[in-house]
Amino acid sequence: MRVVLSGGGTGGHINPAISIADEIKRRFPDAEISFIGTQKGMESRLIPRAGYAIDYVKVQGFKRSLSPKNFVAAYRAVSSVLEAKRILKRIKPDIVIGTGGYASWPAVNAAHKLGIPTLIHEQNAFPGVTTRKLSKFVDTVCVSFIESQKFFDEAVQHKIILTGNPITVQEIGYDEARNKLGLTDNDVSVLSFGGSLGALMVNKYVLEAMQSYTGPAGIKHTHAAGQGNYDEVKADAEDKKLGGFSNLQILDYIYDMPVRMEAADVVICRAGAITLAELAYRKKAAILIPSPNVTDNHQYKNAKVLSDAGAAILLEEKDLSGQTLIAKLRLLCEDRGERQKMQQAIARFAKPDACSDIVDAALKLIK
């Protein structure tokens, strides 16, 4: 069996594709799996690191404002499909799977034109432009939120399958994770992060929150500042005299995230779709601060779905301050019952079989 996957730009599109590839490989060790993407996107680093081959095409997203770059984007939207056709004719895949981002356009479009079965997966509550355009001619559309369906055309509805987001999970229990980190039964563990590169506003107000409970015992807080902001955040923490408290830890990047997240009682983070899938899987009470700097404001829409269901606390950056974050954080840290209600609510969004269900849907399309 030969499979081509395509999706890129950000880890939110790439990591689901890798999870799907890994599941196919687990079931069919002899399967030939490769990717199509762009050299400028993160896929050029993440895909080879995951052990898969990748072919490159030249494609770029459209600017939302009037820009000469849109002429180049329009040209490449056509030429990249021709490049992808040549790649697919060489590989002769049994199916092509797209996981979003403009990088998925050439491969999925070309596969459709060549009569190759196609499946796409949308991670976010509000489908991206590429996904909505591709949905009109692909064979199957997998979505992660039931709320996504209303954004697709009526003619597409019969193709839609609710699967959830595919995540690769390291199995570790709550008690085991806390033992690894030296946490006691009386400790309330807080984990916060703004992404691999960091987030200025999250960093700023998390430090203010840390200042507010340097005295009380029982709260253990680990914060990942992001590799790009670490030195600045560390210096700010020293100015706030946070360096002498053993219950506070500031890191540049969290390499053992499955352990840290499993051990956490409260998580403060952005609202990327894959992060939310992991929170739901691990049943975590969370304060979500969506990034306002993403296409279609999709992180806010992801977070709003959970917030409306009582499954998370939503704080927009425009409303964020040290006081608001501290108030919400104290509520969850001090009220175990409130945490448990939120844990039960977010657990209803967990789709532990998402990856398997997507692969099952793909296999149904292969003749």
- Asked if residue 104 lies in contact with residue 7, where contact means CB atoms within 8 angstroms, the answer is yes
Residue with tokens 């080879």: 48
Rounded to whole angstroms, how far apart are CA atoms 320 and 329?
13
DSSP string, 98-143: E-SSTTHHHHHHHHHHTT--EEEEE-SSS--HHHHHHTTT-SEEEE
Rounded Cα distance between 319 and 260, Å, is 28
pLDDT in tens, 325-348: 999 999 999 999 999 999 999 999
d(CA 164, CA 180): 30
Give helix then strand counts, H and E, for the chain: 14, 13
End-to-end CA distance of the chain: 11
> How many Cα atoms sit within 13 Å of 139 on the Cβ side?
19
Strand partners, 217: none
pTM of the model: 0.83
pLDDT, tens digit, for every residue of 131-189?
999 999 999 999 999 999 999 999 999 999 999 999 877 789 999 999 999 999 999 99
- Write out the chain's pLDDT in tens, 367 residues: 999 999 887 778 898 999 999 999 999 999 999 999 998 878 888 899 999 999 999 876 655 555 566 555 565 677 889 999 999 999 999 999 999 888 899 999 999 999 999 999 999 999 988 999 999 999 999 999 999 999 999 999 999 999 999 987 778 999 999 999 999 999 999 999 987 555 888 999 999 999 887 555 678 999 999 878 888 898 998 888 887 788 899 999 888 888 999 999 999 999 999 999 999 999 999 999 999 888 778 899 999 999 999 999 999 999 999 999 999 999 999 999 999 999 999 999 999 999 999 999 999 999 7
**Letter for the amino acid at 45?**
R
State how far the Cα of 190 lies from the Cα of 174, in Å rounded to an integer. Answer: 14
